[in-house]
Structures are given as C-alpha cells and as structure tokens.
Amino acid sequence: MLHEVLFIIFGLICVGGAVNLVVQRHPINSALSLVVVMGALSLIYLLLGAEFVAAVQIIVYAGAVMVLFVFVIMLLNAGAEERTTGSHVALWVGGPGVAVLAGMIVYLMFRNNRNFHRVSIGNFVQQPDNTHGIANLLFTRFLLPFEITSVLILIAIMGAVVLARREG
C-alpha cells in the first residue's frame, strides 16, 4: 500500500514537471521543472532498489548538468520564446505520432502485465550492497567501456573549451 502511494506521488510529480517543461515559454522555467522531474525520478530509482543510481542522478543530473543549463541560460540572457510563423509540419505530424506511440506502449504493457514481476520495496537487495555490486561489475566485466568513457570525457572537455572559446 505504501509503495503504491509513494509511486503515485512521485510519478505524478514526474509527469507534472515534464508537462510543465512543455508548457512553459521561458527556458529558465523549463530548466527548473526538469530539475523537479530528475529529483522525483531519483526517488523512483530508490523504490526500485537502485541506491547508487539514485544518488548519481541527484549529484550528476540535478546537480551538475542542470546547473550547467541554468548557467548557459543566464549567460546568454535567454528570454521567453518568441512565436514564429515557420512551418508547423513537425507539430501536426509529430503530435499524433507521439500519441499513437504512447498509446501503443501503454496498451502493450497492460496486455503483458501478468508476465512482469511485482516490485516491492526491498525485493532487490544485493549482497553486500548495491554500490559494491556496481563497482564490482564496473571494474571487471565493464572495465574496457569504463576506460573508454574516461577518454570520451577528456575529448568532451577539450571540445567544450575549443567551441566556447572567443575567436581571435
């Protein structure tokens, strides 16, 4: 019972934040609603027994990435979105397309509902703990991808510095 209540509360916060992101016209409002979505998602990760992912979600996404976004919005002094008279084909074709996609996924999920486990708090406890298990996998089976991501980050740092540098 508690689990359902928690899931519904945080799921509604997630969906509300995402809808607010679409509705708001000023980018700073969209950014702050995205922070709300990410915070609520991290609590949903906790309900699924993923403590490490929940902590990283708060630290990296809500903490680092979104601060970068807010920083750029303020740096560029971005105002409210202007209404343009450009082509709206993407909207008229994409809107129904997205609705069909969402309806299809929801229908499939309800049809295959009995094939899925029922999630309850604490039913996925690793020995000795979640972070330990992830570290074990990361430094054994996923060692090569892990090292490659460090090179990727290095390239991203250099790319960001080169792109954002003032010319001349």
Partner 1 sequence: MVPLSWYLILSAILFCLGVTAFLVKRNIITIFMSIELMLNAVNLSFVAFANHWRDLNGQVFVFFVMVVAAAEAAVGLAIIIAVFRTRETLNVDRVNLLKL
112's tokens: 């295959």
What does the alpha-carbon distance between residue 16 and residue 12 come to, in Å, rounded to a whole number? 6
What does the alpha-carbon distance between residue 37 and residue 16 come to, in Å, rounded to a whole number? 8
What does the alpha-carbon distance between residue 7 and residue 20 come to, in Å, rounded to a whole number? 20
Shortest reach from residue 155's CB to partner 1, in Å: 8
Shortest reach from residue 63's CB to partner 1, in Å: 11
Shortest reach from residue 6's CB to partner 1, in Å: 9
131's tokens: 């972070």
**Which amino acid is residue 25, in one-letter code?**
R
Other residues' Cβ atoms within 10 Å of the Cβ of residue 158: 10
Closest CA to 38 of 21, 15, 61, 64: 61
Those residues with Cβ within 8 angstroms of residue 138's Cβ, 6 or more apart along the chain or in another chain: 146
Contacts 24+ apart (CB under 8 A), 53-59: none
Shortest reach from residue 128's CB to partner 1, in Å: 13
Shortest reach from residue 84's CB to partner 1, in Å: 5
